[in-house]
Structure 1
């Protein structure tokens, strides 16, 4: 028999041989072990988040959801739950737990499951550097790497890495993200029961998470709570309360504070262009846009409501589907009473198949009364729609024709119809998904910062951003730029142009080109300013001829329009060129800012995951005297004498690690911009009923804003395929467009609906009726925060009294005269020789509106 001493010696030898063998293995594998130095400066793979200018989250992009937290930000109960479950002796061992290791080895020998041998440090080694393959070599690498980690980092640093790295299901990595994904909470707000659920996920996140497998999650939670009780982290009372709590987890996405998908996508695409997809999605960038929440919400509200209004006045296209369509029998309809009643499950199944687009809600008609209906919505709400929410719904026949006004509800809907409704202040209204599309963009004319962007009715319906991607014919929105060229080539606002029909033979096509006014009314000799206010087509063509295409196209290019995209024929004067709404808005910004070309941009700054600014926009500023755009501390005595290139300021900026100040390039003269702005103000405020026929500007509807410091231009293309309104105040420019994505369709016309109020829009659709309402609605909100600010009159502009009919000087002060602006040296010098007093009279007669 072996003596105890011999057994002890053999044991020591075996241990020494084991240690030697282990050391030998370490030496042989050392070159294959990963370097753990990178753990000192770990860069978490966190999603990119996009914010509004006022800090509201608009969206996040990235496959992995992670919210990195320091150990101090983790609640102690959550830390305790993890330690009790994953590694009870974490703060006692050296990276490998001998007790746990022996238990695991014994379990393998006896065939009993005694638990895993992996410590938290070993899991960090595996999660950061190794694979999950079940081999002894991988396990040895894991042990050796754990030794290195323990030598390099403190226990708290290792635990913090683990809690931020671990995968916890549903693409949540780390406990910060898991708390948001499963409970829509910060970790500090979790209950003990919820913390125990999360602490149990590392064992098997795909099969034990509370969303996919709530029963298994509950069982695992009980194990975690039992371990916390045994290790004295919680009391018996806390255990009982938590173990009996219901499983409350639901899947949550990022908490979107500002729903602005078109704006967020613009920033998203720019980030991919800057950094590439992988880096953009994993580096944790925080992208702050120029969009403000108030203006973005106003823009979305305006576009959606305007499209719904257009859709309604053109008639109801019918339900999404019918669950109980009455069938004809012996030339008579089967009564509703004879139809099989709808089951609750049928309603639920039907509504689940309908995609809802804000603010449209899906509903099923469950009862049709004489002038009301009963509906059931997706959330099982039962409601009624009164006649005021139904009576608009005459039949849609085509874009130009609607059916007769309905008298009772059964002429509109049937029992079992699946419909869209909207919820308004006075209850629910029948609605429908608009078939037309629209866009609105607003930006600062001072530097091009985009303040609001809406690229369609719904991003879920169509991700095509019509603000940046839809090049559409601009119609009369081109005219201010044509008139601007005319002012640079000898014309004034008081110059007379002959407003009579044009007939011109085109040798290339073999046709006679006859550009016409719309409506076909002609005024003979007419002043340039009034012609723009009334959007006279013939006058625009005559001005183009006077300027010449060779001069006009370079002039239009100075506003940022690509010259190779401009038609080289006279149709250019009527808006045959195609631009995006963003390009149009940027062009109009040149008039608003006094003549400077600005470059639109949407990203104001980019921060890395640590909050460091890695990019700061530095747009060119539209200004002559730029002191108003500079920080106060930079205003030095040298400012008044500095060169045009702002070299003095830029030297100061460089010393203070600030970007160079960039002054925008001038596109047109300040005088030209001011005169066109005055003419565009006439589009809204211009009117004269003292002479026959009386007239008013095509944008007169904007007078309801009660702001004299606004200007704008309507625009409609041939056959009303596109309708526009672009307008601005001194500090904000906005463009509204509406049309069909299918270019073969036109906006049509609508007839009077006797069921609706008298202020309804009827007749042919065009810029002032179709696009301007959205612009007015948006500007009503936008102008609330903008004090009334007149457009600055340049020093070389003078004002003189002229005769309205001839544009010559006059000494009369009656309604035959008006004050007009001129560039110094261009004012008329001749006085009128004929008295027009007899032609002046009062009248309320109005002509048909023009576009």
Structure 2
């Protein structure tokens, strides 16, 4: 601005010297006083035209690379919330900012009034900017070298989303221009929705949706008046006013300011203000962060969604994913796995996994992928989706296949020492044994399966055949045991005793066929996916 004023003064001086036919000495020129300058219509016109050209040039230079206010919405990267079947939050997926988006309709009236009172009391009256606020900011920047923050919610929103944190007059002018354009394109309600979704409340907590959950474990619509006043005071300087990372009791003094503004704007009475101020020191903060629960299940869900949605959908779109998991049952399952591993320590067992499914629907109710998800060595590895030997877990399918081939539960098998020859002279015969080393002679199917006897099971497989057994297992849902020639080369009679790798999630799927009269149910982890405006995005 100073450079522009100098240029105009120099231009007027040049015009005046020309009118005088000035050719005198330098001292003579400098001795001319402003009173001696005669303004002619021509000189005034040239000065005005020069000012207009300079202004338009400056305006073009400032605005040529400006983003549009629409970018606030189109470039927004909202957190995705993963819920259990009872709407309990399992995890929030985000990159740098945890923004749980909300709509204007979800904003409590108290929060809107408190924020407007303390940040921008003329919000519903102005056109996106405050003349007094901008003039004050320019003066402070030019004469004191201190840049002052945006005085309206529009300007704060622009500063938080579209501009760099640079402190300069030029940035302030850009902020001013974008604030006006924001006002022109959107309603006050839309601006408030954007503001409350894009405002910092401390650390990675951005937006009041995340703030309400982090500080009070509530949805914004559930906030009390006092809680709304506390949150309304944070955006001015979260690093100072946050109850967790800020200065000691700073949030109390800031909230008192908010309550005073509310009373001055006639939103609350003096008595209400006193009552709330007295309650301030007793306010309890939750500090509920984004620690992952059911970590293996969360990433299993992500893998499922990557197949039907864009790969970055979980990190940007503000989705609400309703899953099949029961978080309470999940916690019980995690405890059971830990307890069982501890009990089996003498067997050199160091890890465990569990999948619980509803056999009728296939919905996954619990998924424990390892003993401890946070273990740096093996915790992140999901055993439920890895290939492992199933032991005797395949025996029921062998007997089910036998029933389809006219055997009955009363059919007899001989539990005696037996050798099975492959037909190759170089291979030793296969001689299975029961787990206790004993033999029981003739046994009915029902007792053989009930006691999980190995020898009768292998004999039954030898009678029915490996390929039909593989077909049965594949039909039940075991994807790693397809009845192909390659599989036939890799397995033998020990298959019925676990001599073939399967995935635990597939094994659980296969067992649903035993509960559903022979029909297996595919595993389901996702009930539905909606965006934060409650529009259905995906439903399996």
TM-score (norm 1): 0.50
CA distance in structure 2 between the aligned counterparts of 1:185 and 1:80, rounded to whole angstroms:
19
Match of 1:503? 419
CA distance in structure 2 between the aligned counterparts of 1:75 and 1:13, rounded to whole angstroms:
56
Cα 1:17–1:208 shift into 2, 3 Å = farther
From 459, 463, 476, the equivalent of 2:373 is 459
From 153, 156, 172, the equivalent of 1:120 is 153
Q: Note if 1:267 corresponds to 2:181.
A: no
CA distance in structure 2 between the aligned counterparts of 1:88 and 1:16, rounded to whole angstroms:
39
8 Å CA contact 2:435–2:454 kept in 1: the answer is yes
8 Å CA contact 1:285–1:606 kept in 2: the answer is yes
How far is 1:239 from its partner? Answer: 5.5
Cα 1:604–1:82 shift into 2, 3 Å = closer
From 510, 517, 523, the equivalent of 1:587 is 510
Cα 1:202–1:492 shift into 2, 3 Å = closer
Cα 1:118–1:453 shift into 2, 3 Å = same
Q: Which has the higher helix share?
A: 2
Match of 1:150? 183
Q: Note if 1:284 corresponds to 2:318.
A: yes
TM-score (norm 2): 0.76
8 Å CA contact 2:212–2:223 kept in 1: the answer is yes
Match of 1:159? 192
How far is 1:134 from its partner? Answer: 2.6
From 426, 429, 440, the equivalent of 2:354 is 440
Q: Note if 1:476 corresponds to 2:413.
A: no
Higher relative contact order (CA 8 A, sep 6+): 2
From 77, 90, 101, the equivalent of 1:58 is 90
Match of 1:692? none
CA offset digits 1:503-558 (Å, max 9, x no partner): 35675766453222333333444444443333332222222222333444344333
CA distance in structure 2 between the aligned counterparts of 1:55 and 1:183, rounded to whole angstroms:
17
Q: 3-state SS of the aligned residue for 1:614? A: strand
Q: Note if 1:610 corresponds to 2:533.
A: yes
Q: Note if 1:521 corresponds to 2:435.
A: no
Q: 3-state SS of the aligned residue for 2:238? A: coil
Q: Note if 1:537 corresponds to 2:454.
A: yes
Cα 1:608–1:33 shift into 2, 3 Å = same
CA distance in structure 2 between the aligned counterparts of 1:209 and 1:538, rounded to whole angstroms:
68
8 Å CA contact 2:359–2:515 kept in 1: the answer is yes
Superposed, which structure 2 residues align to 1:220-369 within 5 Å? Answer: 220-221=254-255, 224=258, 245-246=280-281, 248=283, 250=285, 252-253=287-288, 260-276=294-310, 278-292=312-326, 296=330, 299-300=333-334, 302-307=336-341, 310=343
Q: Which has the higher strand share?
A: 1
CA distance in structure 1 between the aligned counterparts of 2:333 and 2:458, rounded to whole angstroms:
34
Cα 1:517–1:243 shift into 2, 3 Å = closer
Match of 2:115? 82
Q: 3-state SS of the aligned residue for 1:558? A: helix
How far is 1:581 from its partner? Answer: 2.5
8 Å CA contact 2:205–2:214 kept in 1: the answer is yes
Q: 3-state SS of the aligned residue for 1:606? A: strand
How far is 1:174 from its partner? Answer: 1.9
How far is 1:265 from its partner? Answer: 3.8
Cα 1:528–1:282 shift into 2, 3 Å = same
CA distance in structure 2 between the aligned counterparts of 1:239 and 1:114, rounded to whole angstroms:
33
**RMSD of aligned alpha carbons:** 4.1
How far is 1:131 from its partner? Answer: 2.2
Cα 1:237–1:19 shift into 2, 3 Å = farther
Gaps of 5+ in 1: 315-397, 401-434, 618-851
8 Å CA contact 1:218–1:247 kept in 2: the answer is no
Q: 3-state SS of the aligned residue for 1:291? A: coil
Q: 3-state SS of the aligned residue for 2:527? A: strand
CA distance in structure 2 between the aligned counterparts of 1:77 and 1:532, rounded to whole angstroms:
66
Count of matched residue pairs: 491
